[in-house]
Amino acid sequence: MHTVMPECDTRPNASSALLVGRNVDAVIKGASLGRIGNLEVRLARSEAEIAAAQEVRYRVFYDELGARKDLFQDRRDADRFDPLCDHLLVFDTSLSGPEHRRIVGTYRLLRQEIAAAAGGFYSEGEFELTKLIARHPGQRFLELGRSCVLPEYRSKRTIEALWQGIWAYINHYGIGVMTGCASFHGTVPAAHAEALTYLAHHCRTNSAWDVRAVAGRYCSMDLMPIEAVNAKAAIAAMPPLVKGYLRVGARIGDGCVIDREFSTVDVFVVMPVKEIGARYVNYYGGEAQRFAA
């Protein structure tokens, strides 16, 4: 997996009431789910918008970060999961031209019932989700993936716009658990020894939510003596997306996986919605108008 998000403090600085079920019609119809200044977030509502999001992903994952494919016919990051997913998009409304050319950030959302009917989640190629899902039959799972933002838009405002959209989405569909992969750059876990060891000792899932990397791809995250780990340095060395997830209460599964296509070391993130801090729920779940400035 491969996720590129801005380095910013996502902690809320205000509070508001969570409106469960807000923007229900907007989710269905693809209307606006939130707005911050000139940034607007909504779901893709055309093939042209999905294709444009794939182009944004290509620019980030392939041109910027060096992912590679053995064969490709166009400059789009696309796979078999794209038709199954909803695509959350951030638009810069100040740009000229057609809407699909104003996309500056994206997240891919895959709901459990759709994944189950199509053979599973994307992340099941790296982590063992079957037992996790079976332990929580009353929960609806949502996989977050393919998150990226163009370099010039990597700011707190863009992250907040994306999270407004995610909250509207999970409220509408009654999502109980968000999961997905988050990535460290490169294919050598030891290059991230301090950060991975810190995650293994201080951020692991408990037994109820535990997930393990698949057999044959499992790489240990416990790479150095824990007493040698400097917590401040370890956290500073983590990718922005990992730090952002940890701030809202996410936990990390057992083991990491090397993704050679995308040149990343992937960890698995589990975020039960009920365990996410109230200040984040209130902040991102509040009225979108409060960000319009």
Choose between 101 and 6: higher pLDDT.
Answer: 101
CA nearest neighbour of 180 among 166, 190, 193: 166
C-alpha triplet 235, 237, 243: angle, nearest 5°: 50
Q: How far apart are CA 196 and CA 69, in angstroms?
A: 27
How many residues comprise the chain? 293
Mean pLDDT within 241-260:
94
Q: Is residue 14 pLDDT above 80, yes or no?
A: no
How many other CB atoms sit within 10 Å of the CB of residue 65? Answer: 17
In this prediction, residue 18 carries a pLDDT of 32
21 pLDDT tier (thresholds 50, 70, 90):
very low
Does 36 reside within a domain?
yes
pLDDT in tens, 36-64: 999 999 999 999 999 999 999 999 998 88
Report pLDDT digits (tens) over 179-207: 999 999 999 999 999 999 999 999 999 99
pLDDT at 9 over 60: no
In which region does residue 26 sit, left (phi positive, over 0), alpha (psi from -120 to 50) or beta (all else)?
A: alpha
Task: Give percent above pLDDT 70 in the chain.
Answer: 84
Could you tell me if residue 246 is inside a domain? yes
The pLDDT assigned to 77 comes to 92
- Measured torsion, CA atoms of residues 250, 143, 292, 42, in degrees rounded to the nearest 10: 180
Q: Tell me what pLDDT residue 30 has.
A: 73
Q: Give the CATH number, domain containing residue 191.
A: 3.40.630.30
Mean pLDDT in residue range 127-152: 96
Model confidence at 239: pLDDT above 50: yes
Please say if the pLDDT value at position 2 is more than 60: no
DSSP 235-258: HHTS-HHHHHHHHTT-EE-B-BEE
Mean pLDDT of 6-27: 45
Average pLDDT over residues 167-184: 95
pLDDT at 196: 99
Total domain count, the chain:
1
- With bands split at pLDDT 50, 70 and 90, how would you rate the model's confidence at 74? confident
Alpha-carbon distances, residue 144 vs 73, 141, 169, 214 (angstroms): 26, 10, 12, 19
Domain presence at residue 279: yes
* Across 233-237, average pLDDT: 97
- Residue 283 has a CB neighbour count (10 Å cut-off) of 24
pLDDT of residue 71: 59
Helix (H, G, I), strand (E, B) or coil at 167: helix
The stretch 210-226 carries a mean pLDDT of: 98
Average pLDDT of span 17-33: 58
Higher pLDDT, 203 or 30: 203
Q: For the residues 238-258, what does the mean pLDDT come to?
A: 94
pLDDT tens for residues 82-128?
A: 999 999 999 999 998 888 889 999 999 999 999 999 999 999 999 99
Any domain includes 256: yes
Asked whether residue 65 is domain-assigned, the answer is: yes
- Do the domain assignments include residue 217? yes
Q: Which domain holds residue 69?
A: 24-291
At residue 244, φ and ψ (nearest 5 deg) are -65, -45
pLDDT of residue 1: 47
8 pLDDT higher than 60: no
**Burial of 149 from C-beta contacts in 10 A (0-12 / 13-18 / 19+):** buried
Q: Is residue 255 part of a domain?
A: yes
- In a domain? residue 277: yes
